[in-house]
Structure 1
Amino acid sequence: MLKNKRGRMFTAFTLTVSIIGGTLLTGSSAYAAAEVIQGSVAEVRTSSEAIAEWEAWAKDHAYKLDTIQPADSKAGAGQFKDLDMLKPLLYDKRIVFLGESSHGVSEFNLAKTRLIQFLHQEMGYNVLAFESSLGNTSLAYGKSGTQSAEQTMKDSIFGVWWTNETLPLFEYLKTTQKSEQPLAFTGFDMQLQSPLLDGAWLEDDKLALRLQEAEEKLSEFSAGTDLKAYRKEKSQLIQVYKDVLKSTRSESSQALLKKLYPHNPQLPVLLERSLNDRISVAKEYVEISIKSNTGMPGGDYTWFLKSMEWRDKAMLDNLMWLATDVYPTEKFIVWAHNDHIRKAQSDVMGSPYPIQMMGEMLPDEWKTYSYVLGLYPASGKTADNTRKVHDVLPLEPGSVESILSAAGAPYTFIDLRYRNNTRGNSWMFEPRYTYSWGMIPESLIARDQYDGILLIDEVNPPQYLSSSSSKPAE
């Protein structure tokens, strides 16, 4: 048992790159356990009369989307008419955060792609920032106009999103590069991911090889438990990145970058930032990660939580830098898990991550000009990060998903931000149950965490693509 920042007790479920370890409680037994743990949560209004009022309110006030299928470029005007209700909500917002309660949902990938198309075409959001490596996304974007959409996807984002349902996003990205309003693409994560940096932009082949070897070692150490061995090589690895950084700043390397990656004019500063991230990772994060890997098998999650907090602080720093230094006049769309973007993550009871994360760390001024949209399923099946399929647990009466599902639509959107507390919508102002990943019970105050929620009635696991690279377009 651990405590959140308010001193309340909660259960720390082990959810890292996959849902691992232990047996998750399900159904009413999970909720009973949560009520014991969370104390005051059990005291909120849950009578049949209250639930009926909430459900009736949801039926009257929820917006029902016509479709979540990405738009056809040939369809013409009117294809986003059902999303017009977002315009008054977002007209003054600099950042729109698109969340998801699971990385393994086909319909989330489709819905977010369509939302991105709408935001880009009709509201002038010209930068998409993904929960993936800053370096990988920036380099891949530099070739997005000439290589296949699938290759850009595989070169840029984590494999959990290598799906048929995400591919239309990258086809759209490629198409916009030839338009008067290209959609810029970047990432904000500091983690190493495949493909590792290969130094293709370096004129010094030996230095490029040193970089490749350093990337492999840093990746292996991050996933291992040998702290002593890492400390012996740490300074040498850091020096490699410093040497690469120095070489990257040379005029010849800058010229080669522009030649190899012609579609990303911002690449030199983005790559420099990414290399500085690597130096920070080598200095601090790898040791934290090794200690996390050592402690977790024995039930010690202290260093795991520290690693998550370190990562989210670095992601926020990158996002703020992108918004202020690289694209200071553009509006942003951010793609990430609900946990990363929620406005008060440390208050969520039962979360695997009972800490301040990126969305909670966001400065108040930026929160004013941001809109946080959480996505949830009501039924069906989801996949975890190992692609293992799980059932979405039956909804508990009075839960957020159950209330919104009363609207009786396949795709239900509700705005939380611009609501006053009334008897019919009081559910969003008090603790309510919800499921993370479709199966981890949490308790949260919806309006404290999100500005809006999109509920998908029935979901399915994605159709994953192979891990092998696709051939570039001719």
Structure 2
Amino acid sequence: MPDTEQARIRAAALPLTDPGSLDPLLDRIGDARYVLLGEASHGTADYYRLRDALTRRLIEEKGFSFVAVEGDWPDCHAVHCSVVASPGAPEDPGEVLAGFSRWPTWMWGNAEVAAFARWLRRHNQGLPTERRVGFFGLDVYSLWESLHAVLAHLREHDPERVRPALDAYRCFEPYAEDPQEYALATRYVPQGCEREVISLLTEARHSAARTASLDGSLTEFAARQNAEVLAGAERYYRAMLDSGPDSWNIRDRHMVDTLDRLMEHYGPGAKAVVWEHNTHVGDARATDMADIGEINVGQLVRERHMGAGVALVGFGSYTGTVIAADAWGGVPRVMEVPPAHTGSLEDLLHTALPGERALFVFPPVQFQRPPATGRRAWYHEERGHRAIGVVYQPRYERVGNYVPTVLAERYDAFCYLDHTRAVTPLRPTAAASPEVETWPAGV
């Protein structure tokens, strides 16, 4: 690499040393109502800590309304109740996070998230109830948990309307809460439980609409959201056996639809911080995901809400350690992350900034790259960008862990941390899971 290119990278790099060094990123975010914060792996402490520091500033200085994460709605709703100090909720949100049972438990059940959640509860206790900052899950996996939650809600609050939930429960019951068994069964009965789920969802939407007009309570919203999760999960599991992009796209559309519902619930002027993997946060159109027909959260939020202000922030590192498992459902362990391979984005930045931490803020994205005859800035060149999932096998890293990326189109800003360390799980082991792996490995 020519020295001039190294010099250009060093000139563009803003040092990341403490929360105050995030000022240029806060300036770039401005009045944006959607700030999506990525991570290059689900098991790296430094990504969580940096997102924590930035999110605290967004909440304190810019009035953000809630944090939405790549987690299950029922589990994260329990965290939400703790951080907003709902009556009867545990006083320590770390206790709730330690109770997460769906694999990979370390993804949210770790010391770094617990520290943020405890801070959020302390912050909220100084605010009126209606201004307290929420914590929610956007993901689609919790089919059975959400079904049980809908059924329990109707039995307690609206027993006359419990029948659609019971019909759905009876339809899913033969599959013993095993999503793969359900998915396989739809090969022979393609509609599966779709009819029962649609009936339940329709009833939940009507009920939520009636109640929202009365008091705006989160109780009915949560019940409706569990029905939405049930519908999304049913579609996801029916699609997941195919090799195409459908299951991935169903999942990411569901997450953005959930985000939209939360913004509507919080009302005009609401602002959202999203914590997800880079492969969800970074705009898919700036990667090879677009070549195979995949969309993602970052792309959809830009397409739907660019007028309200959207900031996508990616993360990456050169080497270090990470918590991951050798196979889906396996026991996690601390793994060494080898140096990024030659020619990758991380290798490029390490060569220019060995041992450093830096922030890069890019001009507004226009998806108009320089002509082939002109000189491209390094952040407009396509390079492999490392992505580590909850399943990771370092010896195979060169085969499938790099996503071809045009950095300044995928993100509005990028945080480079040369050396990173693994998260600290709140539980020493993880239970096996019947969920299936999604590309890239376990993201």
Q: TM-score when scaled to structure 1?
A: 0.69
1:383 aligns with 2:323: yes
Partner of 2:236: 285
Larger deviation: 232-241 or 273-282?
232-241
The answer to whether the 8 Å contact 2:16/2:357 transfers is: yes
In structure 2, distance between residues paired with 1:95 and 1:463: 29
CA distance in 1, matches of 2:176, 2:272: 30
Which shows bigger deviation, 214-223 or 268-277? 214-223
Please give the alpha-carbon distance, in whole angstroms, between the structure 2 residues aligned to 1:350 and 1:172: 36
Task: Give the secondary structure class of the aligned counterpart of 2:10.
Answer: helix
Q: 1:220 aligns with which of 172, 177, 189?
A: 177
Aligned counterparts, 1:200-211, within 5 A: 200-201=152-153, 202-203=155-156, 210=166
- Equivalent in the alignment of 1:115: 54
1:150-205: CA deviation from partner (whole Å, max 9, x where unpaired): 23334599622211122111111211221225322222223217855445543259
- Corresponding residue for residue 353 of structure 2: 407
Gap runs ≥5 in structure 1: 1-47, 68-79, 259-263, 293-300, 470-474
Aligned 1:86-235 pairs, distance under 5 A: 86-144=25-83, 145=85, 146-147=89-90, 148-153=92-97, 154=99, 159=105, 160-180=107-127, 182-192=132-142, 197-198=148-149, 199-201=151-153, 202-203=155-156, 210=166, 220-224=177-181, 225-227=184-186, 228=188, 235=195
Q: Is the 8 A contact 1:413 1:452 kept in 2?
A: yes
Deviations for 1:309-342, whole angstroms, at most 9, x for unmatched residues?
1111121122123223434312111111111122
1:316 is the counterpart of 2:256: yes
Structure 1 counterpart of 2:123, one-letter code: T
Cα deviation per residue 1:215-253 (whole Å; 9 max; x = unaligned)?
Answer: 7767835232232478566545665666777788898xx
Paired with 2:246 and 2:301, the residues of 1 have a C-alpha distance of 18
Secondary structure class of the residue paired with 1:186: strand
Q: Distance in 2 between matches of 1:366 and 1:350?
A: 21
1:194 and 1:403 mapped to 2: Cα distance? 45
Whole-angstrom CA distance in 2 between matches of 1:162 and 1:190? 18
Q: Is the 8 A contact 2:200 2:227 kept in 1?
A: no
Residue 95 of structure 1 deviates from its aligned partner by 0.8
CA distance in 2, matches of 1:219, 1:56: 59
Kindly indicate whether the alpha-carbon contact (under 8 Å) linking 2:355 and 2:419 is maintained by their aligned counterparts in 1: no
SS in 2 for 1:375: strand
Cα distance between partner residues in 2 of 1:128 and 1:265? 18
Identify the residue that residue 453 of structure 1 maps to in structure 2.
414
Distance (Å, rounded) in 2 between the aligned partners of 1:179 and 1:390: 40
In 2: Cα distance, 1:353 partner to 1:393 partner: 28
CA distance in 2, matches of 1:357, 1:140: 25
Give the Cα–Cα distance (whole angstroms) in 1 for the partners of residues 250 and 206 of structure 2: 26
Which segments of 5 or more consecutive residues in structure 2 lack a partner in the other structure? 389-393, 432-443
Aligned residues: 386
Amino acid at match of 1:333: V
**Paired residue for 1:426?**
377
Cα-to-partner distance string for 1:54-105 (whole Å, 9 max, x where unaligned): 22122222111224xxxxxxxxxxxx32222223211121111100111111
- Structure 2 contact 232–254 (Cα < 8 Å) conserved: no
Which whole-Å deviations, capped at 9, do the CAs of 1:278-298 have from their partners, x for residues lacking one?
A: 23543x333223x34xxxxxx
Q: Which moved more, 1:148-157 or 1:362-371?
A: 148-157
Cα distance per residue 1:333-375 (max 9 Å; x no partner): 11111111222x1552389986112222235362351111001
Q: Aligned partners of 2:299, 2:169: CA distance in 1, in Å?
A: 35
Alpha-carbon offset, residue 376 of structure 1: 0.8
Match of 1:349 in 2: 288
* CA shift in 2, pair 1:285/1:324, >3 Å: same
Structure 1 vs Structure 2 CA RMSD: 3.9
Q: Does the CA-based 8 Å contact 2:143-2:229 persist in structure 1?
A: no
* Kept in 2: contact 1:164–1:465 (CA 8 A): yes
Structure 1 residues 123 and 238, CA gap change in structure 2 (3 angstroms):
closer
- Equivalent residue for 2:12? 61
Distance of 2:47 and 2:144 partners within structure 1: 23
**SS of residue matched to 1:319:** helix
- CA, structure 1 residues 354+460, in 2 after alignment: closer, same or farther (shift >3 Å)? farther
The answer to whether the 8 A contact 1:58-1:403 is kept is no
- Matched-pair contact (CA < 8 Å) for 2:74–2:145: no
What residue number does 2:220 align with? 268
Report matched runs for 1:323-362 at 5 Å: 323-343=263-283, 345-349=284-288, 355-362=294-301
Q: Give me the whole-angstrom Cα distance separating, in 2, the residues matched to 1:354 and 1:441.
A: 18
- Any conservation in 1 of the 2:360–2:415 contact (CA below 8 Å)? yes
Percentage of matched positions with identical amino acids: 17
Q: What is the CA–CA distance in structure 1 between the aligned matches of 2:94 and 2:24, rounded to whole Å?
A: 32
Name the CA distance, whole Å, in 2 between partners of 1:220 and 1:229.
18
